[in-house]
Structure 1
Amino acid sequence: MRVLLSTYGSRGDVEPLVALAVRLRELGAEVRVCAPPDEDFARRLAGVGVPLVPVGPSARALTKSGAAPSSLPRRAAELIAGQFETVTAAAEGCDVLVATGMMPAAAGALSVAEKLGIRSVSVTFQQLTLPAPHRPPLAYPGRPFPPEVTDNRVLWDLDARSVNALFGEALNTNRASFGLPPVDDVRDYVVGDRPWLATDPALDPWRETPDLDVVQTGAWTLPDERPLPADLVAFLDAGTPPVYVGFGSMPMGAAEDAAQVAIEAIRAQGRRALVGRGWADLALIDGQDDCFAVGEANHQALFGRVAAVVHHGGAGTTTTATRAGAPQVVVPQATDQPYWAARVADLGIGVAHDGPAPAFESLSAALRTALTPEVRVRAREVAATVRTDGTTVAAKLLLDMVGQEGAPRSG
């Protein structure tokens, strides 16, 4: 079986595909991954022996560019065109295509699978893009919903119109060049009738809806056997467990201020600080030996050795911290991150910070709560319920799909 895993997005969109790729190869499949050409993605995939087919511009550069919302249709058109060009070549000879990441990129990849007549499945790593009558959709930048509209079904209709306005013309232009019919509803085309939700049911329970047959596989994580760097181990061994702070792929415009606030708030709790540089390039604020800065590291091993994790609320980081039993302070920056912050608070395993720019007082208050023995105990209880078989479930579903006769599209 030959499988193409296709995405465009940040580290949180790529890392789950690394995990699934490894599991598929263990089951005898040939796997390649289409993803942005960023060096850290290429290095990560090379480390597990999975070929990367680079597509589109650097995701890190695009994230840090601060482009205006008005440029979204143009950037989406470029992403879609890149998908048609690159994914078409990469998917030749494949039996199934897995599409995820930004919606316009997923729409392009699924169109390629349709053209080539191969099976495909649409996957999301957070449920907020799946239409559900019990909650509203996320608004796209520059396209807020009318404040007087509160009916969720109406809001989902408005969301579909926004998606069509942003991505429909570019998608259908490329589809026409491939001899494919136009898509009337881009969002419904990407979601399909049976999308996969690759999140943990304890952390992210899916509530059944009448219009979607959602397959929740569990989160796609890879057991990380990489040793922690020697200098990091030395810092961890030199004192009490530190508080980790990092914002992953978030650019954090005022990175210097964010680092200073975080370090001072951590010190105010009598704790040492461990700063994850991330795409924001967070750095230390002085030369004191109670702080340490770390780049790429094994979070599975690291989070098991810290007193708490302060982070942005990406799906991957939230899941890793939850599995490690580490209390969390989530400082959401955008998109689905407020949702993950709320889930952490609802489960009692940490604190949802109010707003994306923490002040010394607000972060100190959140840390005081997160560092209590009660939260630590609860975090360990929830950690024991988190599943570890997500990639196995997904890989076996793909194997079954290829073995079945019938329509090419699963999602």
Structure 2
Amino acid sequence: MSSTSFSRFTHKLAIDSLDKTAALPTDDGRFNISISATAIAKLQGHLSSDGHEKSTKDTQHEKTHAEKTRFAKLDWRQRQDDFKPVTDNFRGSPQMNIAILIVGSRGDVQPFIALGKELRAAPYHHRVRICTHPIFRTFVEENGLEFFSIGGDPEKLMSYMVRNPGVLPTRASIRAGDVGARRAEIAEMLDGCWRACTEAGNGIDYIKLPNAESLSLDTITSLPDPFIADAIISNPPAYANIHIAERLCVPLHMMFTMPWSPTTAFPHPLTNLKSNASNKRLANYLSYYRMELLTSEGLIDLVNNFRENTLALDPLNAAWGHQLLPQLKVPFTYCWSPALIPKPQDWGNHITISGFFFLATKSSFQPDEALSRFLAAGSPPVYIGFGSIVVDDPAKMTNMILEAVRITGVRALVSKGWGNLGGKDVTENVFMLGNVPHDWLFPHCSAVVHHGGAGTMAIGIALGKPTVIVPFFGDQPFWGEMVARAGAGPSPIRYKDLTAEKLARQITQALEPQVQDRAKELSDRIRSETGTKTAAEMFHSAEQMRKLNCFLIPERVAVWRVRRTNIQLSALGASILIDQGKIDRRCLKPLRKHRWYVEQGAQDPLIGALATMGSTAVGYKTCASKLSRDMGRSKSTETANYKVLIDGQTAPGGSGNKFKSIAKFSAGVGGKTLLFPVDLLYNITNGFHNAPAHLMGDQTVRMRNEITGVKTGLKAGVEEVCFGFYDAVTGVLTQPIHGFEADGAIGLVKGVGRGVGGLVCKSVAGALGFPSYSMKGLAKSIHRGWKESDAVPDEEAIAFLRQLGHRDSVGGQGVLSSHTQKVALSYVGRADGNGVMRMVMRRRGWQNYIELLQLRQDPEKAASVEHDVLMQWESLNVPIRYCSSG
């Protein structure tokens, strides 16, 4: 059985057989999840019956057979895919734009700054952009990395998480409007992540384009360099990651500090697993799917709004759009030490553990005089701080800490943090800290007490400090348990259960000799690891990162492909060829570096039909809700007698707005009604297409090609007819043969069942394929044209580019010919594809222009590079039919 169909099975099992009444959050944000023995038995039987326990030889046999048919497609036009890079001996990694998307606190951001510096340095020399919250701009830029704001306020997020430590909010938070505010913030960050992957600048400062009178070489080169991500690194809370990677067709590599991939080794870090089954390992596995269900239920509408209105992608259906990361086998690197948590045996090769990411100590940091005096005045103090956590009652927390210090008699450094701890009654053996780097401070301490954030925990253990963890929410209890299991500290005590006496007892245990010895032992192992270097190597060694080089300039990443060939060109390489008249710009298309097949459709026809009816009903409800809100606004506007000026005229209010709202409601309901038979037929067809894989474990089911419009819909329909009937008939013979070769007599029986089942399902899919897929393509084209009509171009940018194209030279310096400038302008104004991708194409065109402009600032180097590119192009012997649009 394929990994996709197995993931779908576990998804359904998680829905059907987990006790929803038991899946309620505790005070620390972890969920008490109960999994029945029946569910475990189903999963175990499914694993066994579908080949997860087969020998390596049998599994490889099935895989080889499936690969022969899985990606087969019809050749519609003459193609030539045997061109080879003229510099095929290049072994390095091409320089590329890497966007690192991070949502979280400073402790979440800091490890990725260390990674970003590694990727920017030799031997990689990538352009790295840290995309995170605006509050971290200074922190990122002072480390020499590019910053882009995705919006969001982590301080408010941390305050919300303390009040609502679980996935489900409290009633008080709902009444206070916290949920709506956080949802709005998530929506803002989704759009912010897309902007971070496609826009120039930093997302905060306004970019002023020069006017025609001031246009010169200096003004052009002073503009921010264009940025379009060639690869994305992300942590899971940046929910936009997989959707942006799908839209841009670029590699995606996930990195995180807590387990996020299903495993039998341990349960999800946010769960308190309660299983009545004897096989707890499989219960551990199911806990990940259950948590994914819980966390995604409140976000699917935001994600689909982002996909539809920002990315112009199809919405995901909750019935089968779940667990994208394991389904697609997105590469995952966990940045913790294997000394604490070894890699589970059931994680595939696409999941790796690198070691902790540490940011180098800032040698420039100098403590103030008061802190220096305190450290020198006595024995090493105990550090107590809770970082980004915002507590509701700072005074109460401060008093508790001071009392615990008094009981133990130790000296203490207490960090004020975002919780604003402190007060007037601080004793002499306590020093209140401001913002001091942990890697500088912890070596001066005897032990550390903190909230259990992964970054703070990693630094403390790496420096050999016994660690006391007081978890508030999230994965913090998990790390507390890991530290205790490793013997580097006592068992964690939840913040809401904490008292001065309990904290004093924990500190006393942490200072015991055996705990200090164990912490130093772990420190020796961890400090020998090279986390960031190892992670960078894992990032570049992933399968998705291969063959990304430009054919002509291998040290640069390819962004274009010559149509009907496999020739890949970088922005600079394409610009030189276009400028020299070697290729027509219309013969180039954006290179799909990696295709993410997100929307595979319903698992079977019944689910397809039910999902269509459900999504249509939700659509009607959404239209009604919008009408109600619009009518409410119209009434308040009419009461307040507001007037809106549009293009210098007063817009009609009152009844005019009501009529407009009713018209929008009618159009929305009418559109969804017209689309219902199209979606119904499409989802039922997908259901028949996918049913053999989902229900029978048929690994020969082909992956349907993407449908983006009329042309691709017709193509997919014809392919479904041809391959559907072909596979249906041949499967009756080949499935029993392959089954017998793999499992003997039992495999033969299974093969007969798969052959007969495939004969029915694949034949029906073939019969329905052409009308359903062609109608779906037509609907997408109409929808795309409707959406594009709403797009308003940046008139200031258009005017600037038009003026640029009319000049004979930039600033009279003859940097580019008028022809080259007009070519760059025509690239920027290219109008194919949907509205979103047209804007991306414009920015790629501007990237072409800027890179050539920058190269020609050094005439000697430019002449050499252009000569080499032209010579290498000639050596490819590309037929003229691929270079001319005529």
Corresponding residue to 1:207 among 337, 340, 344: 344
For the Cα contact (< 8 Å) 2:461–2:523, is it kept in 1? Answer: yes
Match of 2:120 in 1: 25
Q: Render the CA deviation track for 1:355-390: whole Å, top value 9, x for unaligned.
A: 213211111111111111221111111110104411
When structure 1 is superposed on structure 2, of 130-139 and 221-230 the one drifting more is 130-139
Query: What secondary structure sits across from 2:287 in the alignment?
Result: helix
Aligned to 2:158: 63
Alignment of 1:11-50 (within 5 A): 11-27=106-122, 28-38=125-135, 41-50=136-145
Change (3 A) 1:314 1:51: same
Please say if 1:374 is aligned against 2:514.
yes
Q: Structure 2-normalised TM-score?
A: 0.43
The CA RMSD measured in Å over matched residues stands at: 2.8
Map residues 173-252 of structure 1 onto 2, 5 A cutoff: 173-177=305-309, 178-184=311-317, 188-190=323-325, 192-193=328-329, 194-209=331-346, 213-226=350-363, 227-231=365-369, 232-252=371-391
Letter in 2 for 1:360: A
Q: Does 1:136 align with 2:267?
A: yes
| Matched position secondary structure for 2:525 | coil
What displacement does 1:246 show?
0.3
For residues 88 and 47 of structure 1, the distance between their equivalents in structure 2, rounded to whole angstroms, comes to 23
**Is the Cα contact below 8 Å between 1:228 and 1:302 reproduced in 2?**
no
Q: Is the 8 A contact 2:152 2:188 kept in 1?
A: no
Give the 3-state SS of the residue equivalent to 2:324 in structure 1.
helix
In structure 2, C-alpha distance between the alignment counterparts of 1:351 and 1:9, rounded to whole Å? 27
1:115 aligns with 2:247: yes
The amino acid of 1:88's aligned partner reads: T
The question of whether the paired residues in 1 share the 8 Å contact of 2:343 and 2:352 is answered with: no
Report if aligned partners of 1:7, 1:34 keep a CA contact under 8 Å in 2: yes
**Cα displacement string for residues 172-196 of structure 1 (whole angstroms, at most 9, x for unaligned residues):** 2222232323445666224551311
What residue number does 1:277 align with?
A: 416
Structure 1: stretches of 5+ with no match in the other structure: none
Confirm or deny: 8 A CA contact 1:121 1:409 kept in the other structure: no
Comparing 62-71 with 376-385, greater Cα deviation is found at: 62-71
Residue 93 of structure 1 deviates from its aligned partner by 3.1
Q: Under a length normalisation based on structure 1, what TM-score does the superposition of the two structures give?
A: 0.88
Cα shift at 1:328: 1.1
1:155 deviates by 3.4
Name which of 525, 540, 546 aligns with 1:404: 546
- Structure 1 residues 381-390 or 241-250, which shifts more? 381-390
- Is 1:296 the counterpart of 2:431? The answer is no
Q: Over residues 197-249 of structure 1, what are the superposed CA-to-partner deviations in whole Å (9 max), with x where a residue is unaligned? A: 11111123232225674111111111213434133222111111111100011
Map Cα deviations across residues 259-287 of structure 1 (whole Å, 9 max, x no partner): 22222212322211101111111115524
1:80 — aligned with what? 190
CA distance in 1 between partners of 2:240 and 2:387 (Å): 27
Deviates more, 1:395-404 or 1:380-389: 395-404
Q: Quick one: distance in 1 between partners of 2:488 and 2:103?
A: 31
For the residues of structure 2 that align with 1:163 and 1:263, how far apart are their CA atoms?
A: 38
CA–CA distance in 2 between the matches of 1:7 and 1:187?
22
Contact 1:97/1:119 (8 A) holds in 2: yes
Q: Could you say which residue in structure 1 is the equivalent of 2:469?
A: 330
CA distance in 2, matches of 1:410, 1:25: 26
Paired residues of 1:309 and 1:328 also in contact (CA < 8 A): yes
Look at both structures and tell me which one has the larger radius of gyration over its CA atoms.
2
2:107 and 2:455 in contact (8 A); partners too:
yes
**1:210 and 1:54, CA in 2 relative to 1: closer, same or farther beyond 3 A?**
closer
Taking the aligned partners of 1:410 and 1:388, their CA distance within structure 2 comes to 33
CA distance in 1, matches of 2:540, 2:505: 49
Q: Distance in 2 between matches of 1:278 and 1:239?
A: 24
**2:301 is the alignment partner of 1:169:** yes
Q: Contact 1:84/1:174 (CA < 8 Å) preserved in 2?
A: no
CA distance in 1, matches of 2:198, 2:447: 44
Distance 1:393 1:153 in 2: 27
Deviates most, 79-88 or 92-101: 79-88
Write the distance in 2 (CA, Å) between the matches of 1:197 and 1:366.
29
Counterpart CA distance in 1 for 2:254 and 2:484 is 29
Greater displacement, 59-68 / 278-287: 59-68
Q: Distance in 2 between matches of 1:395 and 1:22?
A: 10
Residue-by-residue CA offset, 1:119-143 (whole Å, 9 max, x unaligned): 211111111x222234333559xxx
**1:17 and 1:322 mapped to 2: Cα distance?**
19
1:385 alignment partner, SS class: helix
Contact 1:13 1:101 in 2 (8 A): no
SS of equivalent to 2:242:
helix
Mapped to 2, the partners of 1:139 and 1:302 lie a distance apart of 30
What one-letter code is carried by the residue in structure 2 that aligns with 1:196? T
Contact 1:267 1:273 in 2 (8 A): no
2:500 matches 1:360 = yes
- Residues 1:371 and 1:117: Cα distance change in structure 2 (over 3 Å): same
Segments of structure 2 that go 5 or more residues without pairing to the other structure are 1-94, 201-225, 549-592, 598-886
CA–CA distance in 2 between the matches of 1:395 and 1:409?
22
Moved more, 327-336 or 18-27: 18-27
Equivalent position SS for 1:256: helix
Closer, same or farther in 2 for the Cα pair 1:264/1:187, shift >3 Å?
farther
The answer (yes or no) to whether the contact 1:163–1:186 under 8 Å persists in 2 is no
The corresponding residue for 2:231 is 96
Deviations 1:16-40 (A, max 9, x none): 11111111122222111100111xx
8 Å CA contact 2:100–2:232 kept in 1: the answer is yes
Give the one of 391, 395, 399 matched to 2:532: 391
Q: How far has the Cα of 1:14 moved from its partner? A: 0.6
Moved more, 215-224 or 109-118: 109-118
- Distance in structure 2 (CA, Å) of the matches to 1:374 and 1:139: 30
Secondary structure of 2:444's match?
coil
Count of residues in correspondence between the two structures: 402
C-alpha change, 1:410 and 1:260, in structure 2 (3 Å) is farther
